[in-house]
Amino acid sequence: MADGQRFADTLEERARELLAEPVHRYVRQGAREGVTAAEATAAWEAFRLLPQVLRDVTSVETATTLLGTPVRSPICVAPTTMQRAAHPDGEVAMARAAAASGSLMVLSSNAGSTFEDVAATGVDWWLQMYVTADRSTCVPLLERAAAAGARAVVLTVDTPVVGTKYDGTGPTVWEVAEPEWLRANFPLEYGDAAGDEKATDLGPQDVDWLATTTGLPVVVKGVLRPDDARRCLDAGAAAVWVSNHGGRQLDHAAATADCLAAVADAVSERAELYVDGGVRSGLHVLTALALGARAAFLGRPPIWALAVDGGAGVERLLGELADELVDALRLAGCASVARVPRSLLTRPGQRPLE
């Protein structure tokens, strides 16, 4: 691996210079005091590794599948709004980059690009869904996504209401947002009717409802507790996604790195398991795999990369992390992402597990 500065480490600062200030603030911010947002990466950094030796790491396999979709490396793009605020081509540029990287993109239901335009890039994509109080409002969107080629639906369950952010001084992003940055897939009048607000009564039955309505596997995003993971599986979820929404919902929520192992034990072999939140390097991805995740997703860094260099920036970011993961796997004595044991992990000052 090359020495010198990591591209990923330059992104936030460069994006800050390029993005309109309210947009940058919106992307960066966490809810309330920002405790959870600030702790996310540190929680990955708090692990230490016990590398295996005398293992053949001549060739290292990073390819895997996510609900049957092949990916070149288990590093994928989380759903985020406002991608068109970062770059005029927004989600379409993101999709092209994900496709070129052999990655998977989850498209926000609030995206500013149409499902059809995203699908035309050839990317493998899943639809993220905020279910509305009146479920029927979602149906046209779900049917349109399925028809356009979404391979799964990701139900976000941590947002019965949008977490309060203290926006500092100056205009908020909503005051500077162009209409075309958001909601390209909703009818124009969406948002005005009673029932268009986010559902506050989500339950296990919504997992089955989404699966039946779309004919697609359902991923539940925003789970931090093993008991909730079990409820998702009992409800028919094909995968569980450990997330605290990048610290943008309940502040003081625990770090995903600290929740992952217990959820992995609850999920076991019954479903796939993903994680996001503060993942910024191949070493963090290796740690996530060792804790039991099948893939890690990134939220803010791809937006920053899009701002810095469009799709080329996202490709470079994903490529850099994929290279770092290969390097980390090799040095940890793991020949495949499918065989990363939890015994790789320890904490500073703790005795090895075995």
Ligand X SMILES: Cc1cc2nc3c(=O)[nH]c(=O)nc-3n(C[C@H](O)[C@H](O)[C@H](O)COP(=O)(O)O)c2cc1C
Residues catalogued as catalytic:
245
Beta-carbon contacts of 272 under 8 Å, excluding residues fewer than 6 positions away, are 66, 67, 219, 238, 239, 240, 294, 295
Of the pair 22, 79, the CB lying nearest ligand X is at 79
Of the pair 27, 71, the CB lying nearest ligand X is at 27
Contact of 330 with 18, CB cutoff 8 Å: no
Which of 11, 31, 67, 78 is close enough to bind ligand X by CB under 6 A? Answer: 78
Buried/exposed 104-120: b ≥16 CB within 10 Å, e otherwise: bbbbbbbbbbbbebbbe
Q: What does residue 11 show for φ and ψ, rounded to 5 degrees? A: -70, -50
- Residue 27 contacts ligand X per CB under 6 A: yes
| Residue 66 beta carbon to ligand X: minimum distance, rounded to whole angstroms | 15
Contact of 107 with 125, CB cutoff 8 Å: yes
**Which stretch, 73-81, 192-200, 224-232, 338-346, contacts ligand X (CB under 6 A)?**
73-81
**Which stretch, 42-50, 211-219, 228-236, 240-248, contacts ligand X (CB under 6 A)?**
240-248
**Which stretch, 2-10, 189-197, 244-252, 342-350, contacts ligand X (CB under 6 A)?**
244-252
Q: What does residue 300 show for φ and ψ, rounded to 5 degrees? A: -70, -45
Query: What is the C-alpha to C-alpha distance for residues 71 and 301, in angstroms, rounded to an integer?
Result: 19
# binding residues, ligand X (CB under 6 A): 24
Q: What does residue 104 show for φ and ψ, rounded to 5 degrees? A: -120, 140
- Residue 128 contacts ligand X per CB under 6 A: yes
| Residue 31 beta carbon to ligand X: minimum distance, rounded to whole angstroms | 11
Of the pair 79, 319, the CB lying nearest ligand X is at 79
| Residue 312 beta carbon to ligand X: minimum distance, rounded to whole angstroms | 20
- Residue 30 contacts ligand X per CB under 6 A: no
Residues 289-328 that bind ligand X (CB under 6 A): 298-300
Of the pair 24, 231, the CB lying nearest ligand X is at 24
Contact of 46 with 54, CB cutoff 8 Å: no
Q: Which H or E run contains 104?
A: strand 104-107
Residues 99-118 that bind ligand X (CB under 6 A): 108, 110
Task: Specify the 3-state DSSP secondary structure of 71.
Answer: strand
Which of 19, 31, 40, 314 is close enough to bind ligand X by CB under 6 A? Answer: 40
| Residue 58 beta carbon to ligand X: minimum distance, rounded to whole angstroms | 32
| Residue 158 beta carbon to ligand X: minimum distance, rounded to whole angstroms | 8
Residues 146-185 that bind ligand X (CB under 6 A): 156
Cβ burial of 164 (10 Å; 0-12, 13-18, 19+) is exposed
Of the pair 298, 322, the CB lying nearest ligand X is at 298
Query: What is the C-alpha to C-alpha distance for residues 71 and 29, in angstroms, rounded to an integer?
Result: 30
Which of 43, 82, 218, 345 is close enough to bind ligand X by CB under 6 A? Answer: 82
Q: What does residue 126 show for φ and ψ, rounded to 5 degrees? A: -115, 150
Query: What is the C-alpha to C-alpha distance for residues 188 and 190, in angstroms, rounded to an integer?
Result: 6
Of the pair 210, 334, the CB lying nearest ligand X is at 210
Residues 247-276 that bind ligand X (CB under 6 A): 248, 276
Query: What is the C-alpha to C-alpha distance for residues 306 and 318, in angstroms, rounded to an integer?
Result: 12
Q: Which residues bind ligand X (CB under 6 A)?
A: 26-27, 40, 78-82, 108, 110, 128, 156, 221, 243, 245-246, 248, 276-279, 298-300
